[in-house]
Amino acid sequence: MGLLWSLFAKPLIAIQDSEKAHRRAVKALVISDSFFLTRGLLKLTNRRAELPSERFGLSFPNPLGIAAGMDKDAKAVRGWGNLGLGFVEIGGVTMEPQEGNPKPRMFRVNKLQALVNRMGFNNLGSLKVAERLAKAKAKGKWPNVPVAANIGKSEKTANEDAAVDYSTTLGRLWPHVDLFIINVSSPNTPGLRELQEDAALEDVLKACFRANREMAEKSDADEKPILVKISPDLSDDEITSVVDVARAAGCAGIVATNTTTTRPTSSDAKVKSQLEQAGGLSGRPLARRSSEVIRIIAEHTEGDFPIIGVGGISGVDDAWEKITNGACLLQIYSALIFQGPAVVRRIVKGLKRKLSENGLSSLDQAVGLALSQ
């Protein structure tokens, strides 16, 4: 699969508009998953590397998942599982359907293996996505890994009404997914990051936990884990404040981090021009800062608050740094675009090798290892 990606898919993607290439890649995955032979080939060429762990009351076959934004409308839920990933995150989903920001709104910075996007939560809305998830489950088109939903705020909803917006979406998606990520940190919806402030975040989380409790009682089931996704652009004090609010509300953990509005310097004229595009930057330039944020959270909570690490993971060394800084699970996005599906197995096998080299027998033993050094 890696060779086929390098020879055929990668060159084709490189010459296409970024958003069109993204859309076609998801469509190709949907088609591949629709037929027995191609689905079998997909699973065979992307055999899941096993590195199991238990988190949030869920079993993860390996710690590497797909981050939000790759499949906003849950078009290929089972397909992502067939790429060997340990979990899948769909969304961001908003209460109301919305088109997002004007195009073009996604840009590749190939030399840096980075992306700039200002998508703006374009999605079908919570009712349609819930319907799609229900149909996928009913038809057996469901992955054998945990599925998370990333929830954002509808752009037309004022921040004062955000609590209702988020909790409504959570309630609609509740029957279909295993855990929720509350996204208050995307830089592409005006004013959204203000919801990371203490009082606003408390209101949003209070409403989400109320909806979670009501749905659990109605279904005679347990409440589902809720995590908060944090920005890398906060100060250290702001980071710990968000964490404290999330813990006090009863959240199961933190996702660190979202994309950044900061930019690396470059003497390359083309790269400089690409980096000047407005939006959130993801990919390799984000690696160091996201790892720093993970460490800040882990140290502040003394390793007692689960962290999903995301941002700039392009290989096993990035993944290992995040694990040893305190992350217990990981997510990729840009690496999948620039390196193809083979990167999943490569990273997980690399983590297994790192464990062996350090005399460790499980991933849990590596979580936060660097904090004591």
How confident is the model at residue 19, as a pLDDT?
86
The mean pLDDT value for 290-318 works out to: 98
Which pLDDT band holds residue 2 (cuts at 50, 70, 90)?
very low
**Which amino acid, residue 330?**
L
State yes or no: is 167 an active-site residue. Answer: no
Which pLDDT band holds residue 293 (cuts at 50, 70, 90)?
very high
How confident is the model at residue 191, as a pLDDT?
93
Q: Are 148 and 89 in contact (CB under 8 A)?
A: yes
Q: Are 196 and 242 in contact (CB under 8 A)?
A: yes
pLDDT above 90: percentage of residues in the chain:
87
How confident is the model at residue 12, as a pLDDT?
55
Q: Rounded CA gap, 116 and 275, in Å?
A: 7
Q: Are 225 and 180 in contact (CB under 8 A)?
A: yes
Which of 3-7, 16-20, 138-142, 309-313 is the least confident region?
Answer: 3-7
Q: Are 56 and 225 in contact (CB under 8 A)?
A: yes
Which pLDDT band holds residue 15 (cuts at 50, 70, 90)?
low
State the residue for tokens 């869920």: 58
How confident is the model at residue 4, as a pLDDT?
47
State the residue for tokens 């980075």: 114
Q: Are 129 and 173 in contact (CB under 8 A)?
A: yes
C-alpha torsion sign, points 131, 135, 141, 147: positive
Which pLDDT band holds residue 3 (cuts at 50, 70, 90)?
very low
**Closest by CA position to 152, among listed 126, 128, 172, 171:** 126
- pLDDT tops 60 at residue 216: yes
Cβ atoms within 10 Å of 53's Cβ, excluding its own:
17
Q: Rounded CA gap, 323 and 365, in Å?
A: 10
- pLDDT tops 60 at residue 1: no
How confident is the model at residue 9, as a pLDDT?
52
- pLDDT tops 90 at residue 367: yes
The mean pLDDT value for 235-264 works out to: 98
Catalytic residue among 18, 126, 167, 186: 186
How confident is the model at residue 150, as a pLDDT?
99
Quick one: the chain helix, strand, coil %, rounded to 5?
Answer: 50, 15, 35
Choose between 292 and 14: higher pLDDT.
292
How confident is the model at residue 13, as a pLDDT?
56
The mean pLDDT value for 302-319 works out to: 98
162 Cβ contact list (under 8 Å, min separation 6):
153, 195, 200, 203, 204
**Rounded to whole angstroms, what are the CA distances from 225 to 61, 166, 183, 209, 245?**
18, 15, 14, 10, 16
SS3 label, residue 97: coil
Going along the chain from its start, the domains and CATH numbers come out as 2-372 (3.20.20.70)
Q: Rounded CA gap, 230 and 241, in Å?
A: 11
The mean pLDDT value for 340-357 works out to: 97
- pLDDT tops 60 at residue 103: yes
326 Cβ contact list (under 8 Å, min separation 6):
294, 295, 297, 298, 299, 303, 307, 309, 367, 368, 371
Q: Which string of b and e fits 12-30 if b means at least 16 CB within 10 Å?
A: ebeeeebbebbeebbeebb
How confident is the model at residue 109, as a pLDDT?
95
The mean pLDDT value for 19-39 works out to: 88
The mean pLDDT value for 213-225 works out to: 98
**Closest by CA position to 135, among listed 94, 83, 81, 176:** 176
Cβ atoms within 10 Å of 107's Cβ, excluding its own:
21
Round the average pLDDT of the chain to a whole number and report it. 94
Q: Are 29 and 79 in contact (CB under 8 A)?
A: yes
Cβ atoms within 10 Å of 237's Cβ, excluding its own:
9
The mean pLDDT value for 93-112 works out to: 96
Peptide bond into 52 cis (omega under 30): no
- pLDDT tops 90 at residue 52: yes
Tens-digit pLDDT profile for residues 106-155: 999 999 999 999 999 999 999 999 999 999 999 999 999 999 999 999 99
Q: Rounded CA gap, 106 and 93, in Å?
A: 18
SS3 label, residue 124: coil
Tens-digit pLDDT profile for residues 145-187: 999 999 999 999 999 999 999 999 999 999 999 999 999 999 9
The mean pLDDT value for 53-61 works out to: 98
- pLDDT tops 50 at residue 35: yes
Burial (CB count within 10 angstroms: exposed 0-12, middle 13-18, buried 19+), residue 189: buried
**β-pair partners for 254:** 228, 307
